[in-house]
Amino acid sequence: MSPSTVGMAAPFRWLRKAFDVGRRNPKALFGAIALVIVVVVAMTMAQTFLQVLTQGSMSGLVVVMVLMTAVNWVVMPPLVGGLFRVVDATDRGLPVVASDVFNAYGRGQGGKRLVLVSLVYSLAYVGFAGLMLLTPLGQFFREYFAIALATPVGGEPDMAALQALMANTSPSAFLWLPVVAIVMFTWLHASMLALATAALREVDVATAVVAGAMAALRNFLPLLGFMLVMLVGGFAAMLLVGLVLGLLMALLAMASPVLVVLVMFPLMLLVMLAVYAMVFAFYYHGWRDIFGLADAPAPPTEGALEV
């Protein structure tokens, strides 16, 4: 698959289309997202439970982290691929139900391909992080986290050690931060586009990995411009939303603390559903545009919205 280069306005077009993602079959789409959220919450709770069982043992915590990372590598990529397929089906008016998000786990349904593509990108992330640890910036963070880990729970960090760390770290070490930001920015887009390719096309692992990387690299500037605009706009929006939610929580707390939970939990769930839908729809439409599929005709939708 050969990715093309899109214009600077293309990501904003993908975002506009993403706002319309749930119109054709909201039950299937948001039901699938809800199932994914349930799985994520269940794994988070399992990790928390296992960490409690370690009773603060550092070796036990490491074992739990390694175990849950391995579980995530196996469980999450097929879910991501399944969600891309549900978004694709709802966008094209194909028959789909919420439980189809689990279809990638079936034999011959691409689950293994999705896991391997995700594993390649995860190993690339780990390799880059390892290289960064060898830089002056990595040395700074190693010492910083050593100080943080030595701080008792609820206690104050060693301020003298922190001041000494800042004094001994050359300002040039922080010049590595833009490098880290650029690499991580490219890695994020490449991995999502690679998973979309692995989910929506019968290709081998190498083809999906390379397609995602090339798509992100060829469209670095449009994606960067979009991200910068969204960071500025998102920061302002978060301030406004935080102010409104803070006021709402204060008013509810004055009436009853129970009301805070009863109102805020469903509200946060709706926000999570919307964010998942927007993110996956954004990358889906980006994938279609970059690989020349944006103008492909959709099949008839009659009878396609049964859930």
Q: What is the pLDDT of residues 159-205, one digit of tens each?
A: 787 788 888 888 888 888 888 889 999 999 999 999 999 999 999 99
User: pLDDT at residue 14 above 90?
Assistant: yes
The CA R_g of the chain, rounded to the nearest whole Å, is: 22
Residue with tokens 């003298």: 160
Q: pLDDT by residue (tens digit) across 90-99? A: 998 899 999 9
User: Which bin fits 252, alpha (ψ -120 to 50), beta or left (φ > 0)?
Assistant: alpha
| pLDDT score at 29 | 94
* pLDDT value of residue 153: 60
Cα angle 183, 188, 193 (rounded to 5 degrees) comes to 125
Kindly report the pTM of this predicted structure.
0.84
Distance CA 36, CA 43 (A): 11
d(CA 281, CA 248): 30
The CA distance from 157 to 266, in Å, is 37
Q: Are 189 and 279 in contact (CB under 8 A)?
A: no
* Residue-level pLDDT at 300: 43
DSSP 3-state assignment of 190?
helix
Q: Assign residue 254 a region: left if phi > 0, alpha if psi is -120 to 50, beta otherwise?
A: alpha
Mean pLDDT, the chain, as a whole number? 86
Residue-level pLDDT at 304 = 36
Q: Which two tokens stand for residue 86?
A: 């549900």
